[in-house]
A and B are shown apart, each in its own frame.
Chain A
Amino acid sequence: MRQIAAGALAAIAAVVLLALSGIAFGHAPGELLSTLISGSIGSSFALHGTIVKSIPLLLTGLSVAIAFRAGVWNIGAEGQFIVGGLACFLAARFGLISSLLASMIAGAAWALIASLLRFWRNAPEVLTTIILNFVGFHLLGYSVNGPLQEARAQYPQTDAVAISLSTSGEVVIALSICIASWFLLYRTKEGLRLRATGFNPFAARWAGVHVNAQIARAMAISGGMAGLAGGIELLGVTHRLFERFAAGYGYSGIAVALLGQLHPLATLLSAVFFGALTTGAGELQRASNISASVATFGQAVVILTLIGLSSRAKRGIP
């Protein structure tokens, strides 16, 4: 209950602070708020925008949540998203299923590099996954400027893929993954072991859990979901790859997962909230000339509020 309350409080705090910050730009808070709401859920067009934004956020949020649940600080959803998109593009000619599978495998493999470095050299994932983000980013940059550049070689982007995924298809896949994540974490023995590893690897080890196997598996699942997010984004939204393809979805996934208290079902709500925030912020930019980066500001407020609440809880302050 406390966790749900903390999440709700953080979300409200973000919206209120955003609205108040409008005063600094000479806008009435109420006016901003209504633009945010109408721009995100006020029309079917806005709603569609929110859904399209929410899907990659949900998948990267789940990716981060699973890894964090196992005690692995996977900050690398961004890079895994990118290589997932790349693999999907390369496998697109083999059909929809194959290309989405390819994106999952690529994301998982990319994430497992960090686990291998953990096991061989005891390198912390929080560093290696961030570094792998840069590697992925530049790999994509090289690809769209070189071997994968469009046939007419005008812009640093690929040609459009031949296959595509409908928004309803995206929704079905994302919701299935969300429910499957919840089932894995809370309804299976392996999920119990995964969470035990995250809470206390020492006690998990004494209870007979193979801690390293759990860490590697969580990382693979996490990377697979972020990679799938990249594949879905390519086939469903962008249809081509370009340098800014990932658009920060991987990093935003951290905020989504934290607001969702690392619970898959709450992460769904959290993803929709951030999706709406991002879409609404776009409308804010068009209507009131306020930069759409207020959405990022909202993420920061959410994370800081949650940190404040959690440290209060740890000190025993109600």
Chain B
Amino acid sequence: MQLTNVTKSFGPTIAVDDVSLSVAPGEILGLIGENGAGKTTLMRIIAGEIEPDRGTIDVGGTIGFVHQHFMLVNEFTIAENLALVGAGDARFENSNRLVRDLSVGEKAAVELMKAIAKEPDLLILDEPTSVLTPNEAQKLFDTARELASRGKSVILISHKIREVLSIAIARAMVGERTHVAPPLRRRTTPAESRLYVRNLSVGTGEIVAVIGVAGNGQAELATMLRDTLPRETTAHIPEDRTRDGVIAEMSIAENLALVTNASAEELIATFGIRATGPRQRAGNLSGGNQQKLVLGRELTRSPAIIIAAEPTRGLDIESTAFVHEQLRAAAARGAAILLITSDLDEAFTLADGIHVIFRGTLSERLTPAEAGTRAGQLMAGVR
């Protein structure tokens, strides 16, 4: 089996980046990498379950795939499950039991039987031991060795290095960027938390930007700050203005009164909101004007802290310039501003310091000049 320069992305996320890999007959290849490093994606490409964006695959034989999550029909018996793929049930003592009633180890055995029933040339085992007892794992490895001794190839995916060392003949590692065989590094983020921030500080009169590919923890950061900072002195400009910003069913004046006692007429005038008046329903405003309403509501209070997430998304050039001006003016008044944005130009224009957020972790603080050269790599997770 030969894989050459395979790349696959899901939206902005590159799951598999330019990977080349080969397995010879009789070989057991161990594939090591963290959760989410792209191991499973790589295997699904080999198995033909997903199409790569680029690269070639030469399988040269049949494939058996034992998925990480069981692909069994719980309401069927063992025999019925095996019959679905045309496999026999000779190995099982009582194959009339429902899969639902089996232990995890037994289910794994059924999965394995399904995969090897047709004598595949390549057997892929995706994290097979995560649910097995050591004994059951040993049995599985025995089966893998037996297959290899008969000239078949096996790929064993695992994040347990010891396990792979004990069985694999060849080894490959899938790192943070899914290059085969870069040095394996442990991530600093605790596995359970989606966000890990310990080095973020914004001084008085400062604008600090957090940039990154969407979905790397920006929303969690803003939400965490919302729930911890005192609302009286903090302005929040949420990213999703239709869901989190305005209450469509309420008037402009009512939306305003939720947060401040400022006059709606004045706000409409200062922030140039195109509206018929304070009693207009906020839902009837255009997107840009809704954004201005939120900005106006939050900034008229002269807050000490401003958390602005994507404050200019969907605004025209003129309105964007106006918002930038407002943020600068707020900083000049002494507000500490955290700007969370996916618009790099915005960050470079406004910020005194820049952090890159990647998988919930903030980079160290960079000057705009440093960010200019390093942001791209940091956003992709390369350090």
Residues of A within 8 A of B (CB): 189, 192-193, 195-196, 199-200, 202-209
Interface assignment of B167: CB less than 8 Å from any CB of chain A:
no
B250 in contact with A206 (CB, 8 Å): no
A189 in contact with B226 (CB, 8 Å): no
Which residues from chain A contact B245 at a C-beta distance below 8 Å?
203, 206
B259 in contact with A192 (CB, 8 Å): no
Interface assignment of B333: CB less than 8 Å from any CB of chain A:
no
B50 to chain A, nearest CB (A): 34
Main secondary structure, interface of A, reads helix
Which A residue's beta carbon lies closest to that of B226?
Answer: A206
Chain B, interface residues (CB within 8 Å), range: 10 to 19
A203 in contact with B246 (CB, 8 Å): yes
B249 in contact with A209 (CB, 8 Å): no
A209 to chain B, nearest CB (A): 7
Interface-located stretch among B139-147, B186-194, B236-244, B359-367: B236-244
B322 to chain A, nearest CB (A): 22
> In the assembly, what is the distance between CA of A38 and CA of B336, in Å?
71
B244 in contact with A196 (CB, 8 Å): no
Which A residue's beta carbon lies closest to that of B261?
Answer: A189
B257 in contact with A199 (CB, 8 Å): no
Which A residue's beta carbon lies closest to that of B243?
Answer: A202
A206 with B236, Cβ < 8 A, contacts A195-B250, A196-B250 known: yes
B258 in contact with A193 (CB, 8 Å): yes
> In the assembly, what is the distance between CA of A195 and CA of B251, in Å?
12
B257 in contact with A192 (CB, 8 Å): yes
Which residues from chain A contact B236 at a C-beta distance below 8 Å?
206, 208
Interface assignment of B279: CB less than 8 Å from any CB of chain A:
no
17 cross-chain CB contacts under 8 A: A192-B254, A192-B257, A195-B250, A199-B248, A200-B249, A202-B240, A202-B244, A203-B243, A204-B258, A206-B226, A206-B245, A207-B247, A207-B259, A208-B231, A208-B236, A208-B258, A208-B259
Which B residue's beta carbon lies closest to that of A193?
Answer: B258
Interface centre among A193, A204, A206 (most CB of B within 10 A): A206
> In the assembly, what is the distance between CA of A276 and CA of B245, in Å?
44
Which B residue's beta carbon lies closest to that of A195?
Answer: B250
A199 in contact with B250 (CB, 8 Å): yes
B19 to chain A, nearest CB (A): 40
Which residues from chain B contact A199 at a C-beta distance below 8 Å?
247-250
> In the assembly, what is the distance between CA of A199 and CA of B236, in Å?
19
> In the assembly, what is the distance between CA of A189 and CA of B258, in Å?
7
Which residues from chain B contact A195 at a C-beta distance below 8 Å?
250, 254
Which residues from chain A contact B259 at a C-beta distance below 8 Å?
207-208
B244 in contact with A203 (CB, 8 Å): yes
B246 to chain A, nearest CB (A): 6
A206 to chain B, nearest CB (A): 5
A199-B247, A206-B236 are known; give 13 further A-B pairs, CB within 8 A.
Answer: A196-B250, A196-B258, A199-B249, A200-B248, A203-B245, A204-B258, A206-B238, A206-B244, A206-B245, A207-B297, A208-B231, A208-B258, A208-B259
